[in-house]
Amino acid sequence: MWYRIDNGGIIFPAVISKRYSTMFRIAFTIKDKVDARLLQEALDAFMQKHEELRLHLRTGFFWYYAERAEERPLVEPESASPCQYIPLKREGVLPFRVLYFEKRIALEIAHFLSDGSGAVRLLRELVAHYLSFTEGRPLDLSPVAYTWDDAFQKLYKAALPVPASLQNIMHLKGKQAPIGTYYATHFIVATSILKEKAKSYGTTVGIFLTALMMLTLQEIFVRGRKYLGNIVVSLPLDLRHLYPEYEDTMHNFILTINPAIDLRLGEYSLEELCRELRAQFVQQMNPKRLEQLISRNVGSQRDPFLRRIPMFLKRPILKYCYARYGYKGSTISLSNMGQIELSPALASQVQYATFVPAPSPRGVAMGVISCADMTTLNFGSILEDPIVESTYIQVLRAHGILGHAIGNRSIRKIQEEPAL
């Protein structure tokens, strides 16, 4: 049995490499140390309900597709770096893995299969299975009806104009880490503090954190560059909130908006950034603007000429589109998962969540996730210099936002705060 890869995920198989794995991680840190044997039992029970995850990635003559597999996934201890490359096109390789370390349970999943919201639902259910085994109680999980609809195909409108692209976009530069090394830094802060600070600037937490990122990049670029241009932050937008009829889909259902500031006009204060971003968010989240993006993405897949091109010739075209409309069109990506809802039983056991985006050609990617009253600001970097993480955390602390930094490398120029 074979399955079509959804429109939001079709480009990822073409760009998979040992440096850019397209794997991202969602993890829960619980109160007690993880028992690997019970986690495996929980995964086995979980897979009985989710056979649709037991897939192999295949290369067809015209398109990539997925095929049903028989392999049993096995839990693994974490390695030094998250989001490591998986040879997804190799026989017997599944597009996800379940990892554990001390009190942490992590799900890493290939982006062609699902997005962050889908991965959170899967991990939430897996951890609920695990806790039911450890505590010897019935599984406490509200009934959830998942679907694997490709919502983009249903929302497609033909013949809409292609969105305009910005020019003179500034990009992060620096020495890259060796292939296989991916630095993850997590800054854990009380959600209530972030909400209070955002409210003081008359905005939301999402806009406030984006404004702080622009302030961070402004400081880095103004300090180190003679030439200035546009800072563009790529923000994946979960469309399930805007199109509730597709809220149960597990497939990729995100589009990116790209708020920007032009440093050639001068430096911006945090107040100016919050005002500017509020206006740009409203403009770019207009349904008509989003329909333009859907039309461009789906229209490319439906193009009669492109459909007839063999895969070995189509792959370079997909890589070009990924570069032009993806990482070259922005300075950095910031994925905000928002507040994760947990059942009372899960909430009593989960201390906090982390979200590491897939390694990016931009150099650094940021992910935000909130659980209970803990928000984790996560940075994934392939750059040796942690200037983005360091500067962002310094900016947070300069505005009275204190927290605890952890990760798989030390953060320079930052004095560690006591653990929460």
- What pLDDT score does 325 carry? 80
Question: How far is 132 from 120, CA to CA, in rounded Å?
Answer: 18
- What pLDDT score does 227 carry? 81
DSSP symbol at 156: -
DSSP symbol at 392: H
Count CB-CB contacts under 10 A for residue 167. Answer: 7
User: For every one of its 420 residues, what pLDDT tens digit does the chain have, with 9 covering 90 and above?
Assistant: 787 888 888 899 999 999 999 999 999 999 999 999 999 999 999 999 898 899 999 889 888 888 999 999 999 999 989 999 999 988 889 999 999 999 999 999 999 999 999 999 999 999 999 999 998 877 666 555 678 878 888 888 887 888 888 889 999 999 999 999 999 999 999 999 999 999 999 999 999 999 999 999 999 999 877 789 999 999 999 999 899 998 888 899 999 999 999 999 999 999 999 999 999 999 999 999 999 999 888 888 888 888 889 988 989 988 888 888 888 999 999 999 999 999 888 999 999 999 999 999 999 999 999 998 999 999 999 999 999 999 999 999 999 999 999 999 865 444 443 333
- What pLDDT score does 412 carry? 46
- What pLDDT score does 230 carry? 96
- What pLDDT score does 275 carry? 97
- What pLDDT score does 409 carry? 85
- 190: which 2 tokens? 């009380």
The pairing of beta strand 64-68 with beta strand 2-4: antiparallel
Q: What is the pLDDT of residues 127-138, one digit of tens each?
A: 999 999 998 877
- 299: which 2 tokens? 């229209």
Question: How far is 386 from 230, CA to CA, in rounded Å?
Answer: 22
- What pLDDT score does 345 carry? 85
Specify whether the CB–CB gap between 24 and 356 falls below 8 A: yes
- 363: which 2 tokens? 């150099």
Q: Which helix (H) or strand (E) holds 50?
A: none
Q: What is the pTM of this model?
A: 0.93
Collapsed DSSP state (helix, strand, coil) of residue 1: coil
Count CB-CB contacts under 10 A for residue 200. Answer: 11
- DSSP line for 196-233: HHHHHTTS-HHHHHHHHHHHHHHHHHHHH-SS--EEEE
* Residue in 409, 408, 411, 396 with CA at minimum distance from that of residue 189: 396
**β-bridge mates for residue 96, sequence order:** 109
Amino acid at 123: L
Amino acid at 55: L
H helix and E strand count, the chain: 12, 16
User: What does R_g of the chain's alpha carbons equal in angstroms?
Assistant: 21
Distances (CA, A) of 369 to 131, 230, 301, 337: 21, 27, 32, 5
- What pLDDT score does 266 carry? 94
Which residue is it, tokens 């930052």?
Answer: 414
Residues 6+ apart with CB under 8 A from 375: 188, 189, 190, 191, 194, 205, 368, 369
Torsion of CA 106, 115, 308, 297, to 10 degrees: -150
**β-bridge mates for residue 236, sequence order:** 256
Ranges of beta strands (E only) in 18-63 are: 23-30, 55-59
Which residue is it, tokens 């990635």?
Answer: 57
Domains of the chain (ranges, CATH numbers): 2-153 (3.30.559.10), 157-407 (3.30.559.30)
Residues 6+ apart with CB under 8 A from 139: 128, 129, 132
Specify whether the CB–CB gap between 35 and 58 falls below 8 A: no
Instruction: Tell me phi and psi for residue 246, to 5 degrees.
Output: -115, 20
